[in-house]
Structure 1
Amino acid sequence: MRGGESAEAYAAEVVRKAAEGGRIDPDVLTEVEDDRWDRLNPRIILIAAIEIILRDRSRDDSPSAVQVAPRYVELFPAGDVLAMTRIFLGDVSAVSEGNSRGYFTLPGVVGFLSALLAEESMSRESADRLVSAAVEVCRESLCGDVIRRGLGSGPWDIEEIDVSELDLIDMGGILVLESAGMEVRPIEFDGQMLAVTLVRGDTAVQLQAFRADSGVLWESVRTDMVAGIRAQGGRATEWVDRAGVEIRASVPRVTESGHQVTRDIRVLGSDGPGWMLRAVVSGAGAASGNGADWAYATFLSTVVVGTYALSGTSDVIGLHPPTR
């Protein structure tokens, strides 16, 4: 720690000064950044505050950087401001470049946040509430993995949750919550049920579970999927949202009439104890600007039975026809 001062107190003082239009000495920020803090440091808190403000500026599920970016940041040209905004909104594809350009140094973060606060005309009380909310977000993230699985949301392992009082559809290796208007479509191969597609309205969620020796299978699967989509001429980027790091992509496909079109998808993933759960979201829930609350809620409430029998030919955890 720095002279007994907590990271939260330091971040709060920075936010108050920025909200009041006071100048923050860049040399002091650089000095503070070099000091030793606990894992919860001022820079992380201030980045969380930026993310909260940007999301509050737009209720759109996928706000564009142009919509919510500050108009002027003293330390960065307009192009860099838009790139920073995209990263703070969840686009992780440009993080490496951002590090090399100094986006995430403490002076850079404070400069970006100060520009936002100047436009928000935030009171001292509102600034304090912002810091408290940012600290809470950071503490949740530091308690678990990036996805925060197990901190109030799943996907769950069958050993982690009491399912006796839940209205679940049992499919063997996967159990999902009942949902009004939801259609359950089994996916079979060679007489075995390997996956399931859940459809409600114009949104579809395809769920599949895999046995995994490593606790980080989703990271490698995600990398391979992004490369595969791009190799086929599609667009794919890694994005951070409610289920952690996901893939947002436009994939090419050919219609029955022979026309080449693209389809928007989101691929969600989570590593559990001895398993990985993957969901492919398509339809309205995957399109930019459309709400995907049901898709995320379905994925995050799914229960996986990692010890259920494997399929005969792969590491896919087997399923059986749904029972209620």
Structure 2
Amino acid sequence: MFGWGRRRRDEAAGTEPVDDEQVIGETADSVPGGPYDESEAPDDGVERLDLGSVRVPVPEGGQLQVEVDPSGPVRAVHLVTQFGRLTVSAFAAPKSAPLWPEVSKELGEQLRKDGARVHTEDGDWGSELVADSPKAALRFVGVDGPRWLLRGVAAGPAEHAKDCAKLLYAVLDETVVVRGEEPMPVRTPLAIQLPEAIARHIQQAQQGQANGQQSG
């Protein structure tokens, strides 16, 4: 089990704070907050999945769901939990101004065009987007860092929305972003790199599927 972040974040989501014993090595009130830039990554003993541009903790019982483009690059990695699906992505951002206000406004407009009911809520990292769509209840959280934007998305059934949001906050609170030094256009997604064992498993599955189609 990874640390669950600060209690005030649970309160912002309208949920009850978790018990102190759920936090690794510290009380819930004393856990330092992330997400962290690579240069500030804490040596806290938290196990994180290294995805290249982001290192994310995996909730207990969580499973990975990987989206891969036909051409090969990894499009997204999702954490599937008992309450819903979490997605954490990082993007290149400017030095001079925060990017999330602009991105969230555009995202809200697109969600409304798609028929979702959208409103904003104030959270620890600023404005959050909450959307109700026919398929799922969605929450979008953006965190502006040094030359990067970290975006977290919680998607799941409406009845689990609060618990799913609480998990998203906890994951973001302990995520490490690896931006790199190379210049990139603003909003460029930071590349996702799968651990070798996971990449090999996906490649074998794709080959098995291709062989099955050929034999069929």
Q: Does TM-score exceed 0.5, indicating one fold?
A: yes
Q: Distance in 2 between matches of 1:298 and 1:289?
A: 14
* Total equivalences in the alignment: 170
**1:271 and 2:144 are equivalent in the alignment:** yes
* Aligned-residue offset at 1:295: 1.9
**1:205 and 2:86 are equivalent in the alignment:** yes
* Aligned-residue offset at 1:243: 4.2
Give the match's secondary structure for 1:197: strand
Q: 1:317 aligns with which of 181, 190, 207?
A: 190
Q: In 2, are the aligned partners of 1:243 and 1:300 still within 8 Å (CA)?
A: no
**1:184 and 2:64 are equivalent in the alignment:** yes
Counting helix residues as a fraction of each chain, which structure ranks higher? 1
| CA offsets 1:82-101 (integer angstroms, 9 cap, x no match) | xxxxxxxxxxxxxxxxxxxx
**1:233 and 2:187 are equivalent in the alignment:** no
**1:247 and 2:120 are equivalent in the alignment:** no
Q: In 1, are the aligned partners of 2:83 and 2:164 still within 8 Å (CA)?
A: no
Q: Which residue is equivalent to 2:37?
A: 157
Over alpha carbons, which structure has the higher Rg?
1
Q: Which residue is equivalent to 2:51?
A: 171
Ranked by relative contact order (alpha carbons within 8 Å, sequence separation 6 or more), the top structure is 2
2:74 is matched by which residue type in structure 1? M
Q: Distance in 2 between matches of 1:233 and 1:298?
A: 29
- Runs of at least 5 residues in structure 2 that lack an aligned partner in the other structure: 1-7, 17-30, 198-216
Q: Distance in 1 between matches of 2:161 and 2:59?
A: 24
Q: Distance in 2 between matches of 1:309 and 1:187?
A: 25
| CA offsets 1:177-197 (integer angstroms, 9 cap, x no match) | 243211122222231123210
Q: Distance in 2 between matches of 1:195 and 1:308?
A: 22
Q: Distance in 1 between matches of 2:177 and 2:119?
A: 27
Q: Structure 2 length normalisation: TM-score? A: 0.67
Q: Distance in 2 between matches of 1:166 and 1:194?
A: 25
* Aligned-residue offset at 1:152: 2.6
Q: What percentage of residue pairs aligned between the two structures are identical?
A: 25
Q: 1:223 aligns with which of 88, 98, 105?
A: 105
Q: Distance in 1 between matches of 2:125 and 2:196?
A: 27
Q: Which residue is equivalent to 1:61?
A: 15
Q: Which residue is equivalent to 1:95?
A: none
Q: Structure 1 length normalisation: TM-score? A: 0.46
Q: Distance in 2 between matches of 1:164 and 1:310?
A: 30
CA-based RMSD? 3.2
1:298 is matched by which residue type in structure 2? V
Q: Which residue is equivalent to 2:169?
A: 296
Give the match's secondary structure for 2:102: helix
Q: Distance in 1 between matches of 2:170 and 2:49?
A: 15
* Aligned-residue offset at 1:242: 4.1
Q: Distance in 1 between matches of 2:122 and 2:161?
A: 14
